[in-house]
Amino acid sequence: MYIKEITYKNYKLFKSLKVSLERGLNLVQGENSVGKTGLLKSIVWMFWGSARGIEGLLRRGENHMMVKMIYHNNGNQYKIIKEYIKDKDEFRWSFSQYKNNEWVYLLDSTKGSIQRILKTKIEKTLGIKENTFMSLLYFKQKQFYDIIHGGYQVKGYLDYILNIMQINTLYEIIKQTKSQFKHDLENEDLIKKNLDNLTEQLDFNMKNFKKKQKRIKQLKDEVNKLREDNKSIVNLYNKCNKKVTIIDETVSLYNKIIARKDNIAAIKKQYIELEKSGTRIKKYRKLIILRRNIRKKKGKINNLTEKIININNGISEIEVNIENCREIIRKINIAGDEGICPMCQQKVPKEHIKQEIGKQEITIDNYEKETKELQVELQTIKKIKNSTEEELHVDSQNLSKVRDALNLLNSKFLEYIKAKQDYKETTKEFKEHYKSTLKKVRDIFEDYNNISKSEIDLTNYQAISLNTLHKQFNEVFNYTNVKQQDFKEVLIGKQDLLQENIHDRNALDNQISNLNDLIKEKTEKLETIKLLKKNKLIYDRLEQSIISIKEEIRQLKISELEKLVYKWYTLLVTKPQFHNLQINPEDYSIQIYPIDAIKKQYVDLRGNLSGGNETLLAIAERLALARRAGGDIILLDEPTDGTDENNIISEVEGLSNITQIFEQIIMITHYRAGIQFANNVITLKKNLKNNITKIK
């Protein structure tokens, strides 16, 4: 497995950067604060990271961040893309595989995929779990030495890696089982005593259970008997309930007859009172006379109206003539100074003109007299017309009154006739309906006589009155209703008592079931104790065997690990500083056997091994464990820190020697020493003006 390339956009110091990586040893070199460690952390984040704390990864002042990583594994090519848009607070990612010359999406957050599935998919393609990757394949800065110096945490961690933890788990299970067995053996008498108590309690509950069963049967029989006894009452109640409508309809019809009879009497009384005010013939005569007078007065008014119109026309003509005369006088006055007559258009003496004016003034006076006479005549005719119109109005009102009185008298007469007819029809309908009702309710009274031992006389039932029928029916209905209520109260009481007993019976049944389970459990416990007494020796021997096996396996695993660590150490260094090493089984710290040792014995690392060799030994142990876990890629964050140039070259050369085993190593360093052994060198440099890191 190896990473091919990583593309950054606005990721921390990387505004726009593409990093190409190769198989073998890749050195990422540069000064402080150029983003070397950030590059390694971005690889870890692309594999396992989430949206938590993503704003800290976005380059300051930017809105959109994107990282794309392509890696190969087992002949397949995969691509991971993660993006963040700040203003939308949106985190997107996708995971795709290169197939048939195109990228095919396997997972996509925009299509509903969840990140937990992405982690599972990546672990499957890498062939390694996240915790193994983080603890064995990712060498964090200044954390190389913990593993070789040992300790409680290192021991627990290595026991888990070397599968010794599983043996410890098995040992703890055997130990807990023995402890439980010991407790059970000590409590055997107590278990027997509890078993006896439970058996007694079970017998007591069984007796109560049988009593409850008997009582429940008795109550069920009583309820059934109550229902059977009440059947005739229920049937009679149902019959009454069905016939209530028939009785109500009969009473309603009877009430209609009474109401219509009263209505006939009221209408007849009103008609008689109207007749008293005058007979119909007198009213018709008066109507004829009024109509005749109205016709005459309307003719007279029409004649007077024509006269008024003629007088008005005569007055208008006279007024026109007067106006003509005045116009002639005006013209004579105008022409008088010239001495020309306006009538004959000839010269005449002034006296002639004065005579003509006098004639016209006399004519005007005559016209005015005639007009006054006509106006006096007009006023007289108008008075006669107004008087006639008033008489006509009075006659019209009287005519309307007479007509209304006749109409009212006729309508009351018709209403009286119709009311009499309705009364006859309703009476006939009532008689038929009543006969039918008597037939329908007769069986109810027969049942009632049988049930209540009553003596309602049914011999001549056709002659019974409606009031008696209604009263008897209500008596039967009330009787059945009361009986029903009494029955319901008794039945509800019996049913409540039955349910209470059933509930108690079920509670006892549950208690009996629980007691049986407890008795079974205690019995099995006693059987187990009997078996334990026989097999106690076997468990003791098994415990001793596991302790012995655990130590033997630990020694074998440690011995195997010692050989692997020393092997990887010799691959990393050109001149080893010790012949051999051993791992202390107490805390898993490493001791060495120096080449130039004065005392022929293993000694502690501190003070007996150079810093560079100590770093390489720590790397060797991590590499041995990583290879055992199946890893193909190593991330090293400044393993040369605090090492001189010669040791740096030695470390780089040693790491290049193992690239045939590990497919890819990515190493962070400040120095350029040993770059000749690298397959790929990436130099990062920061532009101080805009704070952007680029590849030099």
What digits encode the pLDDT tens for the residues 598-632? 566 777 776 677 777 777 788 888 888 877 777 78
Q: What is the mean pLDDT of residues 78-104?
A: 92
pLDDT band at residue 527 using 50, 70 and 90 as cut-offs: confident
Do 406 and 305 share a structural domain?
A: yes
Q: What is the pTM of this model?
A: 0.49
pLDDT band at residue 26 using 50, 70 and 90 as cut-offs: very high
pLDDT band at residue 270 using 50, 70 and 90 as cut-offs: low
Does pLDDT of 157 surpass 80? no
Region of residue 52 (left: phi > 0; alpha: psi -120 to 50; beta: else): beta
Does pLDDT of 461 surpass 60? no
Do 96 and 29 share a structural domain?
A: yes
Asked if the structure places residue 592 within a domain, the reply is no
Question: What CA–CA distances, in Å, run from 671 to 13, 228, 287, 311?
Answer: 21, 108, 141, 142
Q: What is the mean pLDDT of residues 645-674?
A: 83
Q: What is the mean pLDDT of residues 75-80?
A: 92
The residue segments making up the domain with residue 65 are 2-127+631-695
Give the highest mean pLDDT range of 338-352, 378-392, 537-551. Answer: 378-392
Does pLDDT of 342 surpass 60? no
Q: Which is more confidently placed, 347 or 225?
A: 225
Asked if the structure places residue 580 within a domain, the reply is no
CATH of the domain at 663: 3.40.50.300
DSSP label of 340: B
pLDDT band at residue 5 using 50, 70 and 90 as cut-offs: very high
Do 253 and 226 share a structural domain?
A: no
Q: What is the mean pLDDT of residues 180-191?
A: 69
Asked if the structure places residue 560 within a domain, the reply is no
Asked if the structure places residue 449 within a domain, the reply is no
Q: What is the mean pLDDT of residues 20-24?
A: 92
> Which of 418, 436, 454 is where one domain is finished?
436
Do 78 and 10 share a structural domain?
A: yes
> Which of 535, 552, 569 is where one domain is finished?
552
The pLDDT of residue 451? 65
Cα 320 to Cα 306: distance, rounded to the nearest angstrom:
21
Do 662 and 525 share a structural domain?
A: no
Asked if the structure places residue 273 within a domain, the reply is yes
Do 117 and 69 share a structural domain?
A: yes
Cα 583 to Cα 606: distance, rounded to the nearest angstrom:
15
Do 52 and 103 share a structural domain?
A: yes
Asked if the structure places residue 613 within a domain, the reply is no
| SS3 label, residue 668 | strand
- Residue keyed to tokens 């468990």: 539
The pLDDT of residue 435? 72
pLDDT band at residue 459 using 50, 70 and 90 as cut-offs: low
The pLDDT of residue 215? 87
pLDDT band at residue 94 using 50, 70 and 90 as cut-offs: very high
Do 356 and 329 form a contact (C-beta atoms < 8 A)? Answer: no
Cα 558 to Cα 108: distance, rounded to the nearest angstrom:
45
The pLDDT of residue 97? 93
Q: Which is more confidently placed, 635 or 416?
A: 635
Longest dimension (CA), the chain: 191
CATH of the domain at 316: 1.10.287
Does pLDDT of 444 surpass 90? no
Does pLDDT of 278 surpass 60? no
Cα 38 to Cα 33: distance, rounded to the nearest angstrom:
9
Q: What are phi and psi of 465, to 5 degrees?
A: -80, 160
pLDDT band at residue 24 using 50, 70 and 90 as cut-offs: very high
Q: What is the mean pLDDT of residues 447-468?
A: 61
* Summary mean pLDDT of the chain: 77
Q: Alpha helices, DSSP H only, in 129-230? A: 130-132, 146-149, 152-161, 165-186, 188-229
Nearest to 562 by CA among 162, 166, 157, 168: 162
Q: Which is more confidently placed, 257 or 85?
A: 85
Cα 179 to Cα 447: distance, rounded to the nearest angstrom:
83
Looking from the CA of 463 toward its CB, the CA atoms found within 13 Å total 3
Do 302 and 333 share a structural domain?
A: yes
Do 286 and 203 share a structural domain?
A: no
Spatial strand order of the sheet with 90-99 comes to 14-20, 2-11, 64-73, 76-85, 90-99, 102-108
Do 219 and 258 share a structural domain?
A: no
State in Å, rounded, how far the first CA of the chain is from the last one: 27
pLDDT band at residue 688 using 50, 70 and 90 as cut-offs: low
Q: Which is more confidently placed, 210 or 152?
A: 210
Torsion of CA 522, 524, 525, 529, to 10 degrees: 140
Does pLDDT of 681 surpass 80? yes
59-85 core/surface letters (b: 16 or more CB in 10 A; e: else): beeeeebbbbbbbbbeeeebbbbbbbe
Does pLDDT of 134 surpass 60? yes
Do 255 and 219 share a structural domain?
A: no
Asked if the structure places residue 600 within a domain, the reply is no
Cα 161 to Cα 569: distance, rounded to the nearest angstrom:
20
Residues in a beta bridge with 349: none
> Which of 506, 532, 552 is where one domain is finished?
552
For residue 250, give both structure tokens.
């009969």
Do 327 and 205 share a structural domain?
A: no
Percent of the chain whose predicted confidence (pLDDT) is above 90: 10
Asked if the structure places residue 336 within a domain, the reply is yes
Cα 229 to Cα 240: distance, rounded to the nearest angstrom:
18
Give the highest mean pLDDT range of 149-153, 207-211, 367-371, 648-652. Answer: 207-211
Q: What is the mean pLDDT of residues 241-262?
A: 73
Question: What CA–CA distances, in Å, run from 517 to 197, 199, 327, 512?
Answer: 14, 11, 146, 9
Cα 516 to Cα 682: distance, rounded to the nearest angstrom:
77
- How many structural domains does the chain have? 3
